[in-house]
Structure 1
């Protein structure tokens, strides 16, 4: 640990924030790499005396912050960490940074199945960092889950995150394209979940640099209309779901009605478009017969 006076640190902090960026990202950097929590920062502001201890030198922290500002490099990738619900997850540019709005998927599951521990059998298609599956495996310790991803590197990150988040063994990981790894589980799933690539091609080209230049294209681009993968997932879901099994999908903010029609076309019932906290129809859910 490196000792530095609080006064010197606060001057340095002010200088870094004067370059641009937001306080939340800077606090994230200090927490993940510097070893200074938000609570510590607040105490320093109240009592700017004495010394504090850092895990890394100020020069190193500054170089990381400059990469974030100048190159638009996402702070989560630079720190190789993100927080999602109550999980601390490793992320690299092999996986999408899980968004706060996606946290609502877990709440949707709670609304359907209740919060009491259930013997559910679920699958998540395209798990990325593993966030959704890990959260469900922890919430339902009696359940069994399968998390799939087409990218083995992404799957290794998800496995690592699960091992670091849980001592349970109720979540398995399979590599492959959407339903392909689940051939031996036809008609057995109580629940399938996916946050698939759903960005239309023309929208993808206009994404902010910090997204387009760094986050994996394969996890974002959903074909010409954004529905390429959603179509495939919905069409094949009835093969793998139990009768009255549920499918929960995240979709683009303007795709809810189109996704709902795909559910109807494939004989789903109890179909609902669920809004996120901004009032946007972010999720479409349905039960198979």
Structure 2
């Protein structure tokens, strides 16, 4: 650990922020790489006499901040860590950085299966870092989950994240395209969730540099209209879901009506487009028959 006075750190912090960047990213860097939480960082003005302990020295932190500013590499990839809900997850450029809006997936499912402590079987398609499936498994120990991803590196990362956040065994990880690894569970899944690549081609070309240049393209680009993978997931869902089983898909902000129609065309009922915290129709959910 490296120790420095709060006063000296505050001077150094002002110097770094004058170089550019935003306070949110700087706070995240100090947290993930320096080991000083946002709460502790915000309290420095009150406790200016305090000595602070860091995992890295200020020269090292300055190096990483400069690298972020010069390359636009997300802080999460520089540190290899991301916070999501109450999880601390390993991430790399092999997986998307889990977004705050996706946290609502867990809450939506929890409401649908409120107080259901039975033997629920769920699937998380395209799990990436494992964020959704790990949260569901940890919060519902009696449920059994299966998480899939076409990227073997993502499966390895998700598996480590589950092991690092839990000693439970109610979640398994498989490599394969969407439903492909789940043939042994046809007709047995109570609900499935997916946050597939849904960015339309034209929109992908306009994404911010820190997203387009560093996050995996195959986890973002959903084809010409963004719906290539959504169509596939919805089309084959009836083979795997129980009768009355649920499917929940995160979609692009302007795709809700079209995704809803795909659900209806594939014999789903009770189809809804649910809004995120910004009032955007971000999630489409439906029940098979």
> How far, CA to CA, are the matches of 2:180 and 2:45 in structure 1?
54
Unaligned runs of 5+ in 2: none
In structure 1, the partner of 2:125 is: 125
SS at match of 2:191: strand
Partner of 2:288: 288
Q: Offset at 1:50?
A: 4.6
TM-score by length of 2: 0.98
Matched-pair contact (CA < 8 Å) for 1:115–1:139: no
| Higher mean C-alpha deviation, range 250-259 or range 32-41 | 32-41
Partner of 1:112: 112
Shift of 1:55: 1.2
Question: Cα distance, 1:116 vs. partner?
Answer: 4.7
TM-score of the pair, normalised by structure 1 = 0.98
Confirm or deny: 8 A CA contact 1:3 1:53 kept in the other structure: yes
- Distance in 2 (CA, whole Å) between partners of 1:172 and 1:25 is 33
Q: Provide the rounded CA distance (Å) in 2 between the counterparts of 1:284 and 1:51.
A: 50
Cα pair 1:200 1:222 within 8 Å, conserved:
yes
Q: 1:250 is matched with which residue?
A: 250
Aligned to 1:271: 271
Deviates more, 1:38-47 or 1:106-115: 38-47
Question: Which residue does the alignment assign to 1:40?
Answer: 40
**In structure 1, the residue corresponding to 2:43 is in which secondary structure?**
helix
Within 5 A, what are the aligned runs for 1:122-201?
122-201=122-201
Q: Do structure 1's residue 100 and structure 2's residue 100 form an aligned pair?
A: yes
Indicate how the Cα distance of structure 1 residues 115 and 26 shifts in structure 2: closer, same or farther if over 3 A, else same. Answer: farther
Q: Which moved more, 1:23-32 or 1:247-256?
A: 23-32
Distance 1:259 1:238 in 2: 16
1:229–1:9 distance in 2 versus 1, CA, 3 Å:
same
The CA distance in 2 between the partners of 1:268 and 1:52, in whole Å, is 56
SS in 1 for 2:44: helix
CA distance in 2, matches of 1:81, 1:117: 32
Deviations along 1:237-286, one digit per CA (max 9) or x if unpaired, are 00000000000000000000000110010000000000000110000000
Q: State the Cα distance separating 1:209 from its structure 2 match.
A: 0.3
Number of residue pairs matched?
A: 289
Matches within 5 A, 1:10-49: 10-49=10-49
Show CA shifts across 1:97-148 (max 9, x none).
0100000001110121114534210001100000000000011100100000
Question: Is 1:211 aligned with 2:211?
Answer: yes
TM-superposed CA distance for 1:66, in Å, is 1.2
Is the deviation greater in 110-119 or in 64-73? 110-119
| Residue 54 in structure 1 maps to residue 79 in structure 2 | no
Whole-angstrom distance in 2 between the partners of 1:138 and 1:115:
15
For 1:192, what is the secondary structure of its paired residue? Answer: strand
Q: Are 1:150 and 1:175, in contact at CA under 8 Å, matched by a contact in 2?
A: yes
* Partner SS, residue 7 of structure 1: helix
Give the match's secondary structure for 2:154. helix
Moved more, 145-154 or 76-85: 76-85
Q: Which whole-Å CA distance do the structure 2 matches of 1:200 and 1:131 have between them?
A: 24
